[in-house]
Amino acid sequence: MAGEPFEFNQARLAAFRRCHRRFFLKYRSDRPLLERAFTLADRDWDAARQGQRFHLCMERLARGLPMQSVVNALPTEQAASLTKAWDYRCSLRADQFLTEYELTVPFDHWLLTARADLLARSSDGTVTIVDWKTGANTNADRLRRSDQARILPYVVLEASARLGWNTVTASGITLVFWFAQDPNHPLQLPYSQRQHEQNQSHLASIMGMIDGLAGEEAFARVPDDPATVDTVCRPCEYIHYCERNPTSAGPVQPIDYEEEDLEAVWEAFDFSLD
């Protein structure tokens, strides 16, 4: 009997790009993640928690809670950011808002999933996809070329008919990266049919490449040179399986939590706003 189709998403593709072996260990094996990996990898927990808290607050506001009750427990700077993000949301002309909305579409024999922080759909067929960033816009080119910028509009367009959004076309979609530390200058990325076709071909190529790798040894480790081991292996939660020996001391360069899959991490914590 055929197994469940593998579900790709931004985090899984980012993990594959980071290290093919790590992708295998994380998503294709049942190797346990050792408890002490969390302490060995000196990650930027505060920043990750702050981002998670921001999204939870936006979700609460979308559910109708008054701003004052949501920002009550937040530090002043975070409360101000949240207010500005909500103002931005309110400035969007839309007939329908979907918050923290996950969409999955079939892609060849796989599934492709994307989670939108906010979808704002107007009856004229336009859709704005908003991604809330709690930092600043430090690298617009990187964001433009990111898996997130490919997958989000791709999945929204492919899923639009199922959502009853029959008038949506590629050119009606805009992806917006909004930055809490630069709220007046969101990065707006208009989508197009040409990009949609390019994205489809790019995704098919990388997903096909991953699918063609059979067995753990086919998933290569990153090169065993001191610089790579220090930057990529040192924060890796699977370093115990790889016999890699970082040479540097001091703080670990954290894995990029904008790209990495937080779900497994949050399961290890009893996190709430209260």
Which one of residues 233, 252, 255, 265 is an interface residue with ligand SF4 (CB under 6 A)? 233
In the region spanning residues 101 to 130, those forming contacts with ligand SF4, defined by CB under 6 A, are none
Give the residue with the Cβ less far from ligand SF4, 21 or 53: 21
Rounded Cα gap, residues 231 and 252, in angstroms = 8
We find the least distance from the C-beta atom of residue 221 to ligand SF4, in angstroms, to be 3
Asked if 70 touches ligand SF4 (CB under 6 A), the answer is no
| DSSP label of 259 | T
Which one of residues 238, 255, 258, 260 is an interface residue with ligand SF4 (CB under 6 A)? 238
Task: Rounding to the nearest 10 degrees, give the CA dihedral for residues 92, 134, 146, 139.
Answer: 110
Asked if 239 touches ligand SF4 (CB under 6 A), the answer is yes
Rounded Cα gap, residues 178 and 137, in angstroms = 8
No. of helices (H) and no. of strands (E), the chain:
11, 6
Asked if 21 touches ligand SF4 (CB under 6 A), the answer is yes
Q: Phi first, then psi: what are they for 63, rounded to 5°?
A: -80, -5
Nearest to 123 by CA among 165, 88, 92: 165
Asked if 244 touches ligand SF4 (CB under 6 A), the answer is yes
Give the residue with the Cβ less far from ligand SF4, 74 or 242: 242
- Give the range of 87-95, 107-115, 144-152, 232-240 binding ligand SF4 by CB under 6 A: 232-240
Asked if 15 touches ligand SF4 (CB under 6 A), the answer is no
Give me the half-sphere count of Cα atoms (radius 13 Å) on the Cβ side of residue 10: 25
Asked if 34 touches ligand SF4 (CB under 6 A), the answer is no
Asked if 222 touches ligand SF4 (CB under 6 A), the answer is yes
The number of beta carbons lying within 10 Å of the beta carbon of residue 85 is 24
We find the least distance from the C-beta atom of residue 242 to ligand SF4, in angstroms, to be 3
Rounded Cα gap, residues 40 and 252, in angstroms = 9
Contact positions vs ligand SF4 (CB under 6 A): 19, 21-22, 25, 221-222, 232-233, 236, 238-239, 242, 244
